[in-house]
């Protein structure tokens, strides 16, 4: 974690295969917004101020304990990213769990939260 004039920022680790899978399911606009945000997060870190806790047991059936999310673009964009934390090396690092549409208009399309739930719980 790095301290900046804007407050603390967390390093981000991204599995390229996870990101590519999520981008493949996004619209052109979503793909561009998510790709730009993740690139910026990798370069500058994720600002603690833009993170929100995920509800551990949400009414939609997702269970994301200990996870945090951010909206893309901030402050309330229609896309989002869900992260889990890795503290193995002493300093907390965020790990991208899923990126995508927060509340897709099509009921058959999984939300970023449902994708994150599936990846977290198998």
Using CA atoms, how far residue 116 sits from 6, 35, 78, in Å, is 28, 17, 16
- Cis bond leading into 75, ω under 30°? yes
CATH class of the 8-121 domain in this structure = alpha beta
Q: Does residue 120 have a pLDDT over 80?
A: yes
Percent of the chain with pLDDT over 90: 75
Q: What is the DSSP letter of 89?
A: T
Over the stretch 29-74, which tens digit does the pLDDT of each residue have?
999 999 999 999 999 999 999 999 998 888 888 999 999 999 999 9
Give the per-residue pLDDT at 118.
Answer: 96
Q: What are the extents of the domains in the chain?
A: 8-121
């Amino acid at each position: 974690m790095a301290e900046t004039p804007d407050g603390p920022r967390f390093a981000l680790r991204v599995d390229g295969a996870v990101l590519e899978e999520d981008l493949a399911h996004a619209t052109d606009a979503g793909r561009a917004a998510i790709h730009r945000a993740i690139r910026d997060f990798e370069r500058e870190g994720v600002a603690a101020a833009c993170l929100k806790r995920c509800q551990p047991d949400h009414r939609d059936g997702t269970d994301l304990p200990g996870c945090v999310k951010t909206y893309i673009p901030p402050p309330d964009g229609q896309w989002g990213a869900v992260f889990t934390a890795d503290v193995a090396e002493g300093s907390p690092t965020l790990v991208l769990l899923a990126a995508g549409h927060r509340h897709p208009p099509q009921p058959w399309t999984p939300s970023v939260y449902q994708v994150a739930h599936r990846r977290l719980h198998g």
